[in-house]
Amino acid sequence: MNTGLAVAELLWQPFARNEFMRNALLASALVSVICAIAGTYVVLRGLSFVGDALAHGVIPGIALALLFGVPGVVGAAIGAVVMMGGVSVITSRVRLSADTAIGLLFVGMLSLGVIITSRSTSFVGDITRILFGELLGVDTSDLAWQAAVLVVVAAIAFVAHRPFVLMSLDDGLARTSGFSVRFFHALMLTMVAMAVVGSFQLVGTLLVLGLLVAPAATGALLARRVSTMMLVASLCGVTSSYVGLLTSYHFDVAAGASIVFTSVYLFVIVAVLTIPRRMRGTSELPHQHEHAH
Partner 1 sequence: MNGTSYTITASHLDVGHGLHRVVRDIDLHTQPGDLVALIGTNGSGKSTLLKTLAGMLPAMHGDLRVLGTRPGAAPKRVAYLPQHPVSSHTLPLRARDVVAMGRYAHLGLFKRAGSTDREIVERTMRRTGASEFADKPLREMSGGQQQRTHLAQVLAREAEVLLLDEPTAGLDIAGKAAVAEVIASERARGVTVVLATHDLADAASATAVMLLAQRVVAFGPPSQVLSDQNVRECFGFTQPH
Measured distance CA(206)–CA(59) in Å, rounded: 10
Part in contact with partner 1 (CB under 8 A); list of ranges 81-89, 158-166, 186-194, 265-273:
158-166
Which position among 229, 243, 246, 254 is part of the footprint of partner 1 (CB under 8 A)? 229
What minimum distance in Å lies between the beta carbon of 184 and partner 1?
10
Q: Which is nearer to partner 1, 119 or 162 (CB)?
A: 162
Among 7, 144, 169, 268, binds partner 1 (CB under 8 A): 169
Among 38, 84, 166, 246, binds partner 1 (CB under 8 A): 166
Number of Cβ within a 10 Å radius of residue 187:
17
Neighbours of 79 (CB within 10 A): 31
Nearer to partner 1, 111 or 176 (CB): 176
Whether the CA torsion 47, 129, 243, 253 is positive or negative: it is: positive
Shortest Cβ 273–partner 1 spacing (Å): 17
Task: Tell the smallest beta-carbon distance from residue 158 to partner 1 (Å).
Answer: 10
Counting contacts by CB under 8 A, is residue 122 touching partner 1?
no
Between 46 and 85, whose beta carbon lies closer to partner 1?
46
Q: Is 223 in the site for partner 1 (CB under 8 A)?
A: yes
Using the rule CB under 8 A, is 187 a contact of partner 1? no
Nearer to partner 1, 15 or 179 (CB): 179
Residues 153, 34: contact at Cβ < 8 Å? yes
Three-class secondary structure of residue 82 per DSSP: helix
Residues within the interface to partner 1 (CB under 8 A): 43-44, 46, 159-160, 162-163, 165-166, 168-170, 172-173, 175-179, 217, 219-220, 223-226, 228-229, 280-281, 284-287, 289, 291-293
